[in-house]
Structure 1
Amino acid sequence: MVYNIKNSKQLASLINYTNLNNMISESEMKEFLEKAKELNFHSVVISPTYVPLAKEILADSDIKVGSVVGFPLGFDDTESKIAATQELIKKGADEIEVVINLSYLKDEKYDLLENEIKQIKEVMGDKILKVIMETKALEDYQKANAAKVAENSGADFIKNSTGFVSPNHIFENVNDINIIQKYAPKIKIEICGGINEYKFANQILTGGADLIGSDNGYEIVKAYKDLRENTQVKPKPITL
């Protein structure tokens, strides 16, 4: 069984095209955003520095602009995360990805974790909140508890990885998806990290992810487009 991708447009709509390079120049970011525009991804995920630029370049597209808070370690205090979220919303971000406080999770301080996520969600209005945990560093029961807390707190998505520490096999990803679906059935799932070609992307979607995060999104969609949509055939006339 495979996920039924009908065309490259649909595939792009399931990918959050990501560039969180902390040393990218403005000209390189402009090039990245133009590539995103060419294929019309679900969203771009970029550093807070470039949110205004992305809003300008993508203004005439349907692509959402996403950015990160508490990235990549998650140990900023709650007040700092709230302030950073408010600033990003003011600059026009449509989606915010917040790395959870893994110390709270490890110490089972679920009330502090839930309170932090709730407060961040409250200042976002109708914008999309994604909560990032680092599944590669967690036990399965901790993943389950993180997912439950994220759902109870009103987050829209839970994301498995920052991309810095990623599950390195499809079975690990599917295990994470299974845990989230079982213990937080209402929350949507984004899988990120190491997804650099179409076959892997399709396996992740088949496994139950709602969206994929990838810095190879352009290459994935272009390869699929070339394979499926650029085949030129000239049939010979049929004579009966």
Structure 2
Amino acid sequence: MEQIDRFSKRFDSTLLKATATVKESEVFIDDSISYGFRAIVVPWYLMDRVVRKVRGTDISAACGAGFPFGFETTETKAYMIRQSLRLGPEVRDIDITANISAMKSGDWDYFEREISYLSGLLKNVICKVIIEVSYLDAVEIEKACSILMKLPYVDFVKTGTGYGSRATTVEDVKIIKRVVGDQKGIKVSGGVKSLSQVEDFMASGADIFGSSSAIAIYGEFTEKYPGIADLK
């Protein structure tokens, strides 16, 4: 399990709105670096800029494969992963979107076969699998997590892309935690906008977060808990 000793290291600072401009992304990257977040995510075609700017720091450039619905073929996702890793060793996180259609169809063999293959390409970097809980019922969430538990190179179960039908809930996280325990990390993404949400999610078992509001949340944290390194 990834060791976290600072609150800032609980956040993948994310800018993925469709209208994000190059200039906006550049400012976002610089601001996120100044806060020392665990990772930075911007539109994929601009990730080389993140790689250059985080070089020599402990901040990861995080890329995705199959975002946001996971509909691409397995080989297409594998190509995306390989291209991301070619950007440099600063790419230390890959977030794979599982095929939502396959999960909703009950094709769990496809789900397992695809994620097993793709996660096997990521033995030396952090692999997160997005199961997009907003489209799944409790039984489907449990099934997806039980399969991911069998895959040694999956490090985190991630709740969403931010493009789902609703925000992640505390109950979603509790369901995941019941299955994965302390064997896999949990990343909450999708609607994380306040410190109070982060506190509730952590109390339910979440470890890290993807948020476009990471800077604002960190500001809330330092105001509420001056001199404290992290929430426990």
Q: How many percent of aligned residue pairs carry the same amino acid? A: 23
Which one of the candidate residues 120, 124, 130 is aligned to 1:132?
130
1:160 — aligned with what?
A: 159
Report the secondary structure of 1:189's partner residue.
strand
Deviations 1:187-238 (A, max 9, x none): 21011122111111111112210111110001111233244449xxxxxxxx
1:235 — aligned with what?
A: none
2:43 — aligned with what?
A: 47
User: How does 1:17-56 map onto structure 2 within 5 Å?
Assistant: 17-56=13-52
Moved more, 49-58 or 16-25: 16-25
Which one of the candidate residues 204, 208, 217 is aligned to 1:207?
204
1:193 — aligned with what?
A: 190
Whether the 8 Å contact between 2:33 and 2:59 is mirrored in structure 1 is yes
The one-letter code matched in structure 2 to 1:77 is T
The 1:223–1:175 alpha-carbon spacing in structure 2 relative to 1, beyond 3 Å, is closer
CA–CA distance in structure 1, aligned partners of residues 34 and 155 of structure 2: 27
Unaligned runs of 5+ in 1: 1-8, 231-240
The 1:223–1:179 alpha-carbon spacing in structure 2 relative to 1, beyond 3 Å, is closer
Q: What value does the CA root-mean-square deviation take over the aligned residues?
A: 1.8
* Cα deviation, residue 21, structure 1: 2.3
CA–CA distance in structure 2, aligned partners of residues 74 and 51 of structure 1: 20
Which one of the candidate residues 145, 148, 154 is aligned to 1:147?
145
CA–CA distance in structure 1, aligned partners of residues 55 and 213 of structure 2: 23
CA–CA distance in structure 2, aligned partners of residues 25 and 65 of structure 1: 18
2:230 — aligned with what?
A: none
Moved more, 220-229 or 129-138: 220-229
CA–CA distance in structure 2, aligned partners of residues 23 and 207 of structure 1: 33
Report the secondary structure of 1:24's partner residue.
coil
Whether the 8 Å contact between 1:45 and 1:65 is mirrored in structure 2 is yes
The one-letter code matched in structure 2 to 1:79 is E
- Deviant stretches of 4+, over 6 Å: none
CA–CA distance in structure 1, aligned partners of residues 192 and 93 of structure 2: 21
User: How does 1:215-230 map onto structure 2 within 5 Å?
Assistant: 215-229=212-226
* Cα deviation, residue 167, structure 1: 4.5
* Cα deviation, residue 10, structure 1: 2.0
> Normalising to structure 2: TM-score of the pair?
0.88
* Cα deviation, residue 41, structure 1: 0.6
Deviations 1:62-107 (A, max 9, x none): 1111111111111101110011111101113211111111122122
Report the secondary structure of 1:120's partner residue.
helix
Which one of the candidate residues 87, 106, 112 is aligned to 1:114?
112
1:234 — aligned with what?
A: none
Question: How many residues are treated as equivalent by the alignment?
Answer: 219
Report the secondary structure of 2:34's partner residue.
helix
Whether the 8 Å contact between 1:98 and 1:129 is mirrored in structure 2 is yes
